[in-house]
């Protein structure tokens, strides 16, 4: 089963039911000039009627729930007038989806997409996210001196993975996987295109479990060579939310080992790192437990690279582990409601004992695949001065969204609100800008291995903090 749609959307749709529950179903407007469209279509009458109902359900939902009525005024009417006949004459689900996506693209915003009912549609020749994992994470960096060209750079390799066994390491360039040349046919631009390129990178690094592909890799100071990578089944725990299929959901925590601490100038410090890949309920208690085990640490790193978002309201509780008083991370505005995202200070451990929120330095790691709730959390924590952010600029896909079934069996994921930081700054398209001195390049990855973590560790080491006594657990792994 394909999970390609997950790479296209960051899913910050929690609190949507609360804010939209009172909104009733609107009646779609009557279709104009349907007779003209009938003559151009080979679809049967029942399919044409279903196509019209599907298009109008999508169109009307946007018209009635978009937070900015001006954006969906006369111009949105014009989109319907132009594209409804094309939708009505569509002879397949793929053809209809293409028309729907064309309409949604006119909005120029994230979190508006069609999730196929059977989760199996992909553009011809497009890289598709598969279930098998290589263990390597790729990032597309602009190719120096060649405008419009991109280099696929290895930015991380999981220990013990197939990629690691093949000798793939950070800083290497991947020239080809199988018969596919990398770095071509990528969307240019520095807005949401970053997220699109990250999605392609994730898809290219995946494969069918049990299959093997030949990767042509190029070390920083070496000649290209071919290595074989076997894709391994994803054994992470699965969690399900709303209409989405089960998704890998995992949180890990540990204290950094002495070797890395010494390498990065923090030999006399104890620094913990918590990583989780999606904002869903199964990670909430393990996060609380991880914080309990790291209360004596000199600093905590929260690794949210590749995290596409999830339940937006969770950001308030997670941030409450680090704020002694309620403080606003930003606010979400619908057409008629404003909801403040205010931290909830956590003064009780998982064992029920009284504690104070962690007061030491907090670093957050992000990249261009970090989206939605991740951006709400990272941007808010950065804005209130409670954390430093390291890595690559985030996706800029921060709009809260919800899902609505369509008459053709597909699901319409649509934003229903705008989100802004307390000072009014929008995260949509611009993303969260990290506190790095400069962007990381290929040479930095080859030298540091993980430059974002290295810079976070150095910053924590330079900070003054006296940890409070508390329980200590060297490592936690939880679903």
Which residues does residue 140 pair with via DSSP β-bridges, in sequence order?
Answer: 152
**Taking CA 182 as the corner, what is the angle to CA 181 and CA 188, rounded to the nearest 5 degrees?**
130
3-state secondary structure 99-130: HHHHHHHCCCCCCEEEECCCCCCCCCCCCCCC
How much is the pLDDT for 467?
Answer: 54
Range scoring the smallest mean pLDDT among 167-181, 280-294, 393-407: 393-407
The answer to whether residue 9 scores a pLDDT higher than 50 is no
What is the mean pLDDT of the segment spanning 408-428?
A: 90
How much is the pLDDT for 120?
Answer: 31
d(CA 439, CA 188): 18
The answer to whether residue 117 scores a pLDDT higher than 70 is yes
How much is the pLDDT for 129?
Answer: 84
The answer to whether residue 456 scores a pLDDT higher than 90 is yes
What is the mean pLDDT of the segment spanning 164-188?
A: 91
* Secondary structure (3-state) at 198: helix
Q: What percent of the chain has a predicted confidence (pLDDT) above 70?
A: 85
The answer to whether residue 76 scores a pLDDT higher than 60 is yes
| Closest by Cα among 93, 124, 21 to 410 | 93
| Closest by Cα among 259, 252, 258, 286 to 270 | 258
What is the mean pLDDT of the segment spanning 359-378?
A: 96
Give the global pTM.
0.79
E strand segments, 278-369: 299-303, 328-333, 338-342, 362-366
In the structure, what pLDDT confidence band is assigned to residue 8 with cuts at 50, 70 and 90? very low
How much is the pLDDT for 84?
Answer: 97
What is the tens place of the pLDDT at every residue in 233-243? 999 999 887 76
In the structure, what pLDDT confidence band is assigned to residue 465 with cuts at 50, 70 and 90? low
How much is the pLDDT for 249?
Answer: 94
The answer to whether the beta carbons of residues 204 and 150 sit under 8 Å apart is no
Q: Among the residues of 231-305, which ranges form H helices?
A: 258-263, 284-293
User: What's the token pair of residue 381?
Assistant: 């924590």
Biggest distance spanned by C-alpha atoms of the chain: 77
User: What's the token pair of residue 26?
Assistant: 């609107």
What is the mean pLDDT of the segment spanning 366-391?
A: 97
Q: What percent of the chain has a predicted confidence (pLDDT) above 90?
A: 67
């Amino acid at each position: 089963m394909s999970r390609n749609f997950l790479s296209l959307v960051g899913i910050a749709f929690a609190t949507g039911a609360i804010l939209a529950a009172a909104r009733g179903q609107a009646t779609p407007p009557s279709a104009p000039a349907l007779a003209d469209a009938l003559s151009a279509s080979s679809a049967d009458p029942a399919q044409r009627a279903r196509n019209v109902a599907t298009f109008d359900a999508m169109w009307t939902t946007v018209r009635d729930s978009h937070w900015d009525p001006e954006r969906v005024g006369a111009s949105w009417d014009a989109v319907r007038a132009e594209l409804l006949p094309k939708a009505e004459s569509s002879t397949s689900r793929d053809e209809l989806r293409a028309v729907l996506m064309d309409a949604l693209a006119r909005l120029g915003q994230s979190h508006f997409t069609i999730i196929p009912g059977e989760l199996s549609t992909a553009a011809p020749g497009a890289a598709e996210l598969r279930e098998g994992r290589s263990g390597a994470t790729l990032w597309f960096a602009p190719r120096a001196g060649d405008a419009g060209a991109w280099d696929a750079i290895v930015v991380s390799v999981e220990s013990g993975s197939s990629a690691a066994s093949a000798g793939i390491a950070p800083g290497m360039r991947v020239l080809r996987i199988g018969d596919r040349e990398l770095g071509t046919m990528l969307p240019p631009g520095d807005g949401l295109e970053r997220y699109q390129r990250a999605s392609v990178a994730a898809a290219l690094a995946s494969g069918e479990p049990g299959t093997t592909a030949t990767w042509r890799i190029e070390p920083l100071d070496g000649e290209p060579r071919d290595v074989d990578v076997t894709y391994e089944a994803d054994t992470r725990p699965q969690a399900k939310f709303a209409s989405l299929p089960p998704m890998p959901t995992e949180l890990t925590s540990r204290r950094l080992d002495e070797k890395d601490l010494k390498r990065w100038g923090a030999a006399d410090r104890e620094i913990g790192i918590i990583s989780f890949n999606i904002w869903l309920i199964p990670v909430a208690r393990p996060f609380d437990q991880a914080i309990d085990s790291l209360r004596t640490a000199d600093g905590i790193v929260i690794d949210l690279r590749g995290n596409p978002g999830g339940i937006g309201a969770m950001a308030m509780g997670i941030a409450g582990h680090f704020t002694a008083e309620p403080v606003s991370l930003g606010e979400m505005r619908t057409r008629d409601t404003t909801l403040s995202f205010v931290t909830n200070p956590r003064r009780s451990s998982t064992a029920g004992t009284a504690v104070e929120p962690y007061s030491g330095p907090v670093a957050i790691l992000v990249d261009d695949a970090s989206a939605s709730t991740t951006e709400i959390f990272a941007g808010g924590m950065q804005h209130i001065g409670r954390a430093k952010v390291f890595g690559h600029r985030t996706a800029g896909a921060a709009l809260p969204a919800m899902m609505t079934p369509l008459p053709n069996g597909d699901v319409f994921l649509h934003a229903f609100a705008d989100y802004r930081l307390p000072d009014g700054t929008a995260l949509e398209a611009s993303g969260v800008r990290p506190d790095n001195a400069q962007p990381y390049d290929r040479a930095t990855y080859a030298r540091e291995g993980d430059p974002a973590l290295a810079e976070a560790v150095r910053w924590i080491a330079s900070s003054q903090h006296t940890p409070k006594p508390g329980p200590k657990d060297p490592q936690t792994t939880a679903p």
